[in-house]
Chain A
Amino acid sequence: MATDFWSSSHYKRWIVDRATLRQARSDDLQYVDNPEHLAFLNIFFANLISRLGRKLQLRQRVIATAIVFFRRFYVKNSYCETDPFIVAAACCYVAAKAEESPVHIKHVVSEARTLFGEYGIKTFPTDNSKLAEMEFYLVDELDCDLTVFHPYRTLMTLVGKGTSAASDTEVGEAEDGPRYWGTGEGKLELSEQAIQTSWFIINDTLRSELCLLYPPHLIAVAAIYLTLVFSTTTRAQIQASSAHPSSASSAPHAHPDPTRRSSRSASSSSKKHAQPPDLIGWMAGLNVSMSLVATIAQEIISLYALWDRYSEDAGAGEKGSLRHAHALRGSRAAKEAGSRSGSAEMSEARDEGAQGEVRITPMFLVQLLLHMRQKRMEDLSHPANGRPVAVNKMLERTQAAG
């Protein structure tokens, strides 16, 4: 919205460091056995907001904004002291308004009640005013910074589809000043399928805290990078171009190249369809820190590793994700089918995955949240016990678990 990212609140106030994120989770950490479970909550709530958003017929961009709002809210708040379900609903409601596609509050309340009911959440209020109150609190916690930049726009601009994707870009955003991530010279030419893959990867990054750590255009470049590596066709192109003698000999740029191939076609600006696109040269020509892009790519891969240990009905929250796309293609169909039965069972919190790992299910996380909340309440109601809370709680939990 604000056409200049660098002067936006997104850049100035809402890109935080890891220490801030650790601090944000410090209260929650007291109530979980395994800090990793909090990372699963990131996946769970992103999926939940996506599902709710789709029920409300929100565009992907609006859903992404809702998830970013949710992340920002939990930079300042703890899961154990809030009801993340009503926060999630409020995020959808506010994002819809902020992105100029408002939905009626009643609609949000009824859809949220139905959806959350599937997870055993029966306490979601029927009263509109509760959600309106939460909205107010949310807007306050967001410091009224309602403008969110997303990697989608960078992606579409980089692949030269900036205007055709207007339906999914915020009005007024289609145009901006000189691009800060690069010259745009030697435009990237990607197949529709590769663009789709990048788009899915960007959707997937919302399941992590990347949107709080890195500017969106870097996330977009990382997504493109991973697409180039994942996709067999683009990989073949990279190999073809690096085998090309002229491009291999002319490597004038000393960019730290994450692919560890030093090749840059000298004629990158004049190249046309006839020649295979010089993807590495294009990457190197971007005005971004390649080491940061590599870090982000690494984090995305870690997210996938984590996510593999999470079981949710594949058709539910993960539509529009790369993982889901793969599952549909059958590569993971068997695994998903195996875990689906597990997640359906309310009592069974964890089930054993194919590799013998502990698999995390939504039901487990819902139980975890309730437990955290309850323990926190107990702690708050008995503050004068004089004992360091963290240590004792840890002990108690171990005993309870044992």
Chain B
Amino acid sequence: MRTPEDNHDYAHESSQRSQRAGGRLRRRTAAEASQFVGNKERLYVVLGQVGSGTFGKVFKASNTANGRLVALKLIKMEAEKDGFPVTAMREVKLLQSLRHENVVQLYEMLVCKGTVYMVFEYMDHDLTGVLSQTQFEFTEAHLKSFCRQMLAGLAYLHHKGVIHRDIKGSNILVNNRGELKLADFGLARFYQKRRKSDYTNRVITQWYRPPELLLGATVYGPEVDMWSAGCIMLELFTKKPVFQGTDEIHQVHVVYKIMGTPTVEEWPGMASLPWYELLRPAEPIPNRFRELFKKWLTPAGLDLAEKLLTYDPERRITAVQALEAPYFNQEQPPAAAPVGLSSLEGEWHEMETKRERDKKRKREEEGGGVVEQE
């Protein structure tokens, strides 16, 4: 649990940062300065910080009128350069058009004292946080439910023509009712269903980035999210990211070491990717996926994960197809949401997890063992 000192620390740190930025609009944000955000009709009291992403801080707050908990995501203004960030604008537009039980809901936008906040429904945990805690043990049925909910959210997004492009543990939120919701659409965008477009290749946090992006593809579609979903599915069972590369080149090799080197038969389009020659392995590596993960996953689970982690994006399973997998519909136990999470003490976000890890690392006096990916 957070202590008042924590709050103080954040305020201090962030006001320093905004002074550095010298932002025209956010010299000092309301959340940091006064703990109150909003106007007369919609006033929120800030309870603490729950996250900090590339696009800004996230605060937990409660609506003073009805007590409803919300997450306030502060939109960082690119100080004087280009004003309202395009990414934020895109995220707002996207979220306003989405409504699904497995997609985090944007309640409203709040402009207050020169700062823009996005007001979201509050989620108690994120997946990274909740998997790292040891109080509450997830059953097979719980994990299946998480997996199914994630795929249902992705199926909805892809149906709406949206690619998320940043599926990872800290962007998947979980509440105490065991509901899972996809969040952080800062990198997401609409795509043309019939025609694949040329996009930036610098998306998706490295550990969850599909091989085609690692090999430089700029023409891609919703399949990129499905690879990330495969990574998350394994992570549900192993409790830690499975492909932890230290840089992009290493990342490719980490994937090869587990999934084997792809063959041209498996992935005909591979050879035409920009960095294929550059990253071609000297020796073929055999696929060790089943061997490595059979102790974690059931046979039907392994089948599904393998289909999500298909090298060829053309052959990779779609979210809709994945939901029809025997893993969900035939193999026991059936999915059951971990409703017991409400008994879990505290709130588990990647931020806490990181802090715990940092403390532990300090204690153990390890130097530079874990590489953070952000």
Contact = CB atoms under 8 A, between A and B. Distances in A.
Interface string A273-295: 00000000000000000000000
A224 interface: no
A98 B130 CA distance: 35
B83 A132 contact: yes
A171 B96 contact: no
A6 interface: no
Given A136-B83, A140-B111, A171-B190, A129 B89 contact: no
A170 B116 contact: no
Contacts of B293: none
Contact of B96 (A94, A145, A163, A175): A145
A147 B83 contact: no
A144 interface: yes
B218 to A, nearest CB: 15
Chain A interface SS verdict (over half):
loop
B134 interface: no
Contacts of B82: 102, 104-105, 132
B193 interface: yes
- Counting chain B residues whose Cβ lies within 8 A of the other chain, the interface size class is 20 to 34
Contact of A2 (B83, B97, B189, B191): B97
B161 A175 contact: yes
Interface in B37-85: 77, 80-84
A174 B80 contact: no
Nearest to B85: A97
Interface of B: 24-25, 77, 80-84, 86, 89-90, 92-94, 96-97, 99, 109, 111, 114, 116, 160-162, 189-195, 197
Contacts of B92: 144, 146
Contacts of A171: 161, 189-192, 197
Interface residues of A, number: 37
A7 B100 CA distance: 14
A11 B86 CA distance: 24
8 contacts: A2-B96, A135-B84, A144-B109, A163-B194, A170-B190, A171-B197, A172-B191, A174-B194
Contact of A132 (B80, B97, B191, B197): B80
B97 A8 contact: yes
A166 interface: yes
Nearest to A138: B84
A9 to B, nearest CB: 6
B68 to A, nearest CB: 20
Given A171-B189, A174-B192, A136 B97 contact: no
A2 B160 CA distance: 9
A136 B25 contact: yes
Given A105-B82, A132-B80, A146-B89, A1 B97 contact: yes
A319 to B, nearest CB: 28
Contacts of A102: 82, 86
Given A97-B86, A140-B111, A172 B96 contact: no
A1 B114 contact: no
Nearest 8 pairs of A and B residues by beta carbon: A172-B190, A2-B97, A144-B109, A132-B83, A172-B161, A140-B111, A171-B190, A135-B83
A345 interface: no
A216 B93 CA distance: 19
Given A105-B82, A132-B25, 15 more contacts: A3-B97, A3-B160, A100-B90, A102-B82, A129-B80, A136-B83, A136-B111, A146-B93, A166-B195, A171-B190, A171-B192, A171-B197, A174-B193, A174-B194, A175-B161
Contacts of A348: none
Nearest to A90: B83
A1 B93 contact: yes
Q: Which of B97, B162, B195 has the most CB of A within 10 A?
A: B97
A136 B77 CA distance: 10
B309 to A, nearest CB: 27
B80 to A, nearest CB: 5
Contacts of A97: 84, 86, 89
Interface string A1-29: 11110011100000000000000000000
